[in-house]
Amino acid sequence: MNPIRVGLLGLGTAGGGTYDILLRNREEIARRAGREIHVVAAAVRDLAKARRRVGDAIRLGTDAQAVVDAPDVDIVVELMGGIEPARSLILSAIAQGKHVVTANKALLALHGNEIFAEAHKRGVMVAFEAAVAGGIPIIKALREGLTANRIQWIAGIINGTSNFILTRMRDLGASFADALAEAQRLGYAEADPTFDIEGIDAAHKLTIMAAIAFGVPMRFEHAYTEGISGLTAQDIRYAAEFGYRIKLLGICRRSGAGFELRVHPTLIPERRLIANVDGVMNAVLVRGDAVGPTLFYGAGAGAEPTGSSVVADLVDVTRTHTADPDHRVPHLAFQPDRVTDLPVLPISEVETAYYLRLRALDRPGVLADVTRILGDRSISIEAMLQRQPETGEVHVDVIILTHRTVEAAMVEAIAKVEALASIVAPVVRIRLERLDA
């Protein structure tokens, strides 16, 4: 049987890892796919650098459209990143009846509805395992392995940069600024780390997982995002005293007639396995009604972890290259005509527990005022800790953990607490999830 011929758009970290794996494991991959998979062409920015890597084994050029249009390319692998020209190139490949593999989470989160609709019309596949959590096969697990389940919720550490920063803040007591500088020095964070530290990258990935888990369109524009730049080592230390760790968590959960879609710093009980995922590693916890909780852990980025997922997609596409499109696994797990447009709940309607840190005058009656404000809004307290003031200090930290309540009620309560004359600084609020099995 003739080999499947691949055109790479990008030969950088992910593209290079993909090429190396295909070359190194070509026999094993062919045994799994049923035919060989050959890279025949690649579009690159730096021809000299790419030539040093691959020699004369494949055609190299700077024109990505030429790779898409090449008659000897069966599958286009987009590893360029960004929105344009990636979107136009993918749509061009689809229009020509070519299958596509991509690792572009931002593109799918923003334009996946359009791309999958076009692919469905043309009867081609768009595979995207590498778009979420690097080498962890979470897309395949949600789309196929857990297909018997009604997925109830997903909670994921899906950004390695932010997880590294929080780990250093916890282990070393480092400030956010110092931990970020170390991440940049080690190459874990970009010069402009906004997408990572403000939760945008995690929200792209969460959007994709939610679409597959719940059978809904991509809804990135409705995702709530809150980053880690405002966290302090002090709050991480206080959380630990209560038996919690703070992680940047992406959460999607069925809730009434809609679903939650949110990314924010979250306290998690330290006894939970996911709370012990440190450094640049990723983990995704999925709760299905039949299987219960399942945890997927591994490298969320890097040349070969990402390349591993890209090659897995290539093998899947190769296996079904000539199959009837109606008998393939749907792009978003559910049949296209059965995708439902469930609304995303606004963050004001989300119910969760909370960690609150108050800076208060050390005098009688302060806690009574605070607890009265919380009680008036049916917010019950689970635990409270008042730190001893330093010698000569008239202010004291008060830490409160609450039971679950609606966000709108907590926002209103915090405004009332901050208006008290005895509260001398804005209240620090971090959401808390127990992730009970």
Catalytic residues: 205
Residue 26 and residue 36 in contact, taking contact as beta carbons nearer than 8 Å: yes
Q: From residue 336, give the alpha-carbon distance in Å to each of 97, 113, 116, 123, 207.
A: 19, 10, 9, 12, 17
Residue 166 and residue 232 in contact, taking contact as beta carbons nearer than 8 Å: no
The C-alpha atoms of residue 196 and residue 279 are separated, in whole angstroms, by 14
* Helix, strand, coil share of the chain (percent; to 5): 40, 25, 35
The C-alpha atoms of residue 100 and residue 8 are separated, in whole angstroms, by 10
The C-alpha atoms of residue 309 and residue 318 are separated, in whole angstroms, by 14
Q: How many DSSP H helices and E strands does the chain contain?
A: 15, 17
The C-alpha atoms of residue 76 and residue 94 are separated, in whole angstroms, by 9
CB atoms within 10 A of CB 425: 12
Strands (E), 160-290: 224-225, 244-255, 258-269, 281-288
Helices (H), 45-126: 47-54, 64-69, 86-95, 105-122
Pairing relationship of beta strands 258-269 and 244-255 according to DSSP bridges: antiparallel
Main-chain phi, psi angles of 214, to 5 degrees: -110, -5
Which residue in this structure is represented by tokens 């127990």? Answer: 434
The C-alpha atoms of residue 138 and residue 166 are separated, in whole angstroms, by 23
Report residue 281 as tokens. Answer: 């590693």
Residue 161 one-letter amino acid? T
| Coil/strand/helix, residue 65 | helix
